Amino acid sequence: MTEPEILPPLAKPKRPTEFADEIFDIVCERMTEGEGLREICSDPQMPSKTTFLRWVEKDDGRQRRYQLAREALMDHYADQIRAIAWDDSNDTVKREGKPDLCNHEWINRSRLKVDTLKFLMAKLHPKRYGDKTELLTAAAPEQGSTMQIGWKTPVRVIVYPMLRSDGTLIRQDSPDYEEAIEKAAREASARGLKDVEIGTDLEGIIKPPPPSQITYQPEPLPHDLSPEDWSLLTEVINLIRRTIPTDSNAVPETIFSVIRQALLMHFRCVEIEGNAADAA
């Protein structure tokens, strides 16, 4: 009797550790098609996530390529959101011989998917999908902070958050930030100014304007009333004042509806259908 042959274990495929442009391009292309970095790096033929991020960190050109791939991934997520939001195929549960039921589980799951994708898009691609107010306030200087820039004539610069032409925030630790302040101070000094403001005042952006006040505009009284009409109108007003409690909050429409109902029932024996239903 022959003993069974023992086969050696299969060698695991070795992940690439040395940078290669071909592999880097494959990862970026797969991200563009909608795969996340973690999903891609779980492929045994791809570098680990730590290795890939180390490749990105060592080269500015790779950082730019990776950033573009990640932005394309966010656009893919936007397409997914549209597909999820427009898919109503499972919104109702069909029941034989009974009315359809709303499939709340399906709807809630779709809402969760959309909210999750929106969160990822805002965090990973804030320039395009982030909240405008959040972008303006993140890493921004204190609203209206001041500093003294002095040459022959000291200039007080009032600094608000500064934005580039594409709407992105100029951070305080960037060379563009200091250059913009010095430029504003030089121009103000050349014009003989002691104070200058630079940046965007966020008070008008973040705080909404107060709601407009709606004032009551009563209709003008008619001027062609006869003395008899004025006398009747006076009697009606006095009747209302004597009858309705002084602390009543009834609107004029309610009061005149009651008067009209009483007049119709007394003189025409007609009862308004809506009021009759309310009384019943």
Task: Examine the pLDDT at 234 and tell me if it is beyond 50.
Answer: yes
Task: Examine the pLDDT at 254 and tell me if it is beyond 60.
Answer: yes
Confidence of residue 160 (pLDDT cuts 50, 70, 90): confident
What pLDDT, on a 0 to 100 scale, did the predictor assign at position 43?
Answer: 92
Q: Which residue has the higher pLDDT, 49 or 279?
A: 49
| pTM (two decimals) | 0.42
What pLDDT, on a 0 to 100 scale, did the predictor assign at position 117?
Answer: 83
- In a 13 Å sphere around the CA of 250, the CA atoms on its Cβ side amount to 14
Task: Examine the pLDDT at 132 and tell me if it is beyond 80.
Answer: no
CA 149/CA 27 separation, integer angstroms: 49
What pLDDT, on a 0 to 100 scale, did the predictor assign at position 271?
Answer: 65
Q: What is the mean pLDDT of residues 56-65?
A: 87
Q: Which pLDDT tens digit goes with each residue over 83-98?
A: 888 888 888 888 888 8
Provide the β-strand partners of residue 149: 155
Share of the chain above pLDDT 90, in %: 10
Task: Examine the pLDDT at 139 and tell me if it is beyond 50.
Answer: no
Q: Which pLDDT tens digit goes with each residue over 95-122?
A: 888 888 888 888 888 888 888 888 878 7
CA 106/CA 112 separation, integer angstroms: 10
Domains of the chain by range and CATH?
21-129 (1.10.10.60), 136-206 (no CATH), 227-279 (no CATH)
- Is residue 148 within 8 Å of residue 156, measured between CB atoms? yes
Encode the chain in three state secondary structure. CCCCCCCCCCCCCCCCCCCCHHHHHHHHHHHHCCCCHHHHHCCCCCCCHHHHHHHHHCCHHHHHHHHHHHHHHHHHHHHHHHHHHHCCCCCEECCCCCCCEECHHHHHHHHHHHHHHHHHHHHHCHHHHCCHHHHHHCCCCCCCEEEEECCCCCEEEEECCCECCCCCECCCCCHHHHHHHHHHHHHHHHCCCCEEEECCCCHHHHCCCCCCCCCCCCCCCCCCCCHHHHHHHHHHHHHHHHHCCCCCCCCHHHHHHHHHHHHHHHHCCCCCHHHHHHHC
